[in-house]
Amino acid sequence: MPTPTLDSIELETGESPTHSIIWLHGLGADGHDFEPIVRELHLPANLAIRFIFPHAPVRPITLNGGMPMRGWYDLKSLELDRSSQDPEGVRDSSENVLAIVRQEMERGIAAENIIVAGFSQGGAIALFTALTGPVKLGGVMGLSTYLPMMADDFAQKNNGFSDIPFFLAHGEFDDVVQYKYALMSREAIMQAGFKPQWHSYKVAHGLNAEEVRDISTWLQGVIQNP
């Protein structure tokens, strides 16, 4: 397992954290993007959690004319078919996330107490990492996202950790990651034997207050009732 190479922001909600949440931002953003959500979740004061917000590497993004920006992988089109995928970039970013997972385990956090979450591109990496990685995580959260490389016989390549808690959420009016891709991803995940908790909201490509409340409820359930 490689040493973590991603710069990250860390916020702890208490001394001696018992859980870690690795939260991945979307294309063009950075680790600061979801910092405010720690406060917005209104988690109980007795939960000691280390939130980790990595910065994605800067890379040229084909969809944006090759402009360099922070991204977990290259994106060629918003039509997320097989030809628009970047398997190498997805796998590289997944390995970087797994390096953070291993780092947290070395810091004393059990694998089953590590949750990987992500929004949009970050969510794609979170899903891919939880479903194909060698470590059974405590949970995975995919927000306004999709499962990358669905067409690549995914169901035959999953890691078999079918009881990992899942939280999948998507805006019905999302014009960046179309709603149909979220439904296709949910179906692929279910076909692979997993049982995701599904939520949809009357929003576009983003989160609203209802979703934040649902995330908080799910997190508390996963952490307090493993």
**Catalytic-residue membership of 120:** yes
3 state DSSP class of 198 = strand
Among candidate residues 120, 144, 170, 185, the one labeled active-site is: 120
Q: Which residues, in sequence order, are CB contacts of 52 under 8 Å at separation 6+? A: 8, 9, 10, 20, 21, 22, 23, 100, 104
CB atoms within 10 A of CB 139: 25
**Catalytic-residue membership of 74:** no
The pair of three-digit structure tokens given for residue 10, joined into one six-digit string: 């860390």
Among candidate residues 8, 205, 214, 216, the one labeled active-site is: 205
Is residue 110 within 8 Å of residue 50, measured between CB atoms? Answer: no
**Catalytic-residue membership of 205:** yes
3 state DSSP class of 50 = strand
CB atoms within 10 A of CB 152: 11
Among candidate residues 25, 94, 174, 185, the one labeled active-site is: 174
> What residues are annotated to the active site?
120, 174, 205
